Chain A
Amino acid sequence: MSDAERGSWTGAVRERALAALPPEKLLPDTQPAYMSSWIYVFGVLSLVSLVLIIASGVILSLQGPDWWHTSGIGHFFNSFHLWSVELFFFFMVIHLWGKYWMAAWRGGRSRTWMTGAVAFLVAIPCALTGYVSQQNFDSQWISTQAKDALNAAGIGSFWNLMNFGQMYTYHVLLLPLAVVALVAAHVLLVRKHGIVPPFHRSQTVSPAHAGAATNGSPAAHNGAPLPAGVPGADPMPSPALDPGIVVAAGPDTGPVP
């Protein structure tokens, strides 16, 4: 235990944070060549959409339903908020599909995968509570249908979708907090563990480099390929579904085996 850890909890937190995420990992100036993939662009677009959702949502919450239903600017921000949500899900689903087919949980990245997947799941009730908080006939229709769905699923006693106050609180406070916390954890875990290498490279890491394979270091992916049939060899690489292979010609990754 270091002096800082013995001295105060703030020092201990600082040392643990620096050990988990040193500055060169938190804000790196190099990345593996296989990051050059559109799938990561959709992850960043999801983040941009989330920022726009929160910004437009703050403006809507400041003005209230009467404003967003009756004024031109209110209509604009109401639509802006809705379409930001639509794009958030659109981008997030494409990012999720891509990472699923890349098996992005490999190499000790299970928490990165899980925080992303759970963020997607938590975003669904976050959107639903928004649809039922519109304060119009549309929200009344959706809330009665959703109420029946929750009752049919046996969880209707926990939430009342026809209670505007409860739904609005969930929508503007509790669920956004959960989504933002999960997304923040997801991004920090990406920084900590690096992005997942393509199949053929993660399966060819030599034992000497196995420990470094989880940090996204290009040096960790230059091991000799394992022969077919050897445990750990990739039995069926899928280059068509692995965008990382597209950029395998990068000088820091070596030739494709």
Chain B
Amino acid sequence: MSTAAIFNLNHPAHAVQWHFFFMSVSNVIVLGLMLIVFAVAILAPFPGHGRPRHGGAKS
């Protein structure tokens, strides 16, 4: 039994090449996503920041 794949992978991998730089498109996408998420993690405000973080025992 075979199931249809969401993406057709039955071909050589696509790659991004620029001078010495050579990377598969999937790796470029993952790397780009990591950079975007990292920037968001740095810049996005953390929910509830500024509120005291004391637990009930010592308040």
Contact = CB atoms under 8 A, between A and B. Distances in A.
Interface string A234-252: 0000001101001101111
A97 B53 CA distance: 25
Given A29-B57, A30-B53, A90-B34, A98 B41 contact: yes
Contacts of A98: 38, 41-42
Contacts of B49: 33, 36, 246-247, 249-250
A59 to B, nearest CB: 21
Contacts of B45: 246
A127 B53 CA distance: 37
A41 B42 CA distance: 12
Interface residues of A, number: 27
B42 A252 contact: no
Interface in A214-257: 240-241, 243, 246-247, 249-252
A131 interface: no
A252 B30 contact: no
Contacts of B4: none
B52 A38 contact: no
Interface in B4-59: 30, 33-34, 37-38, 40-42, 44-46, 48-58
B38 A250 contact: no
Contacts, number: 67
A246 B57 CA distance: 26
Interface string A26-56: 0001111101111101100000000000000
Residue among A36, A39, A240 with max Cβ neighbours from chain B (10 Å): A36
Interface of B: 30, 33-34, 37-38, 40-42, 44-46, 48-58
A49 to B, nearest CB: 14
Contact of B41 (A31, A94, A252): A94
A122 interface: no
Nearest to A34: B49
Contacts of B50: 33, 247, 249-250
A32 to B, nearest CB: 8
A252 B38 contact: no
B58 A29 contact: yes
Contacts of A30: 53-55, 58
A93 interface: yes
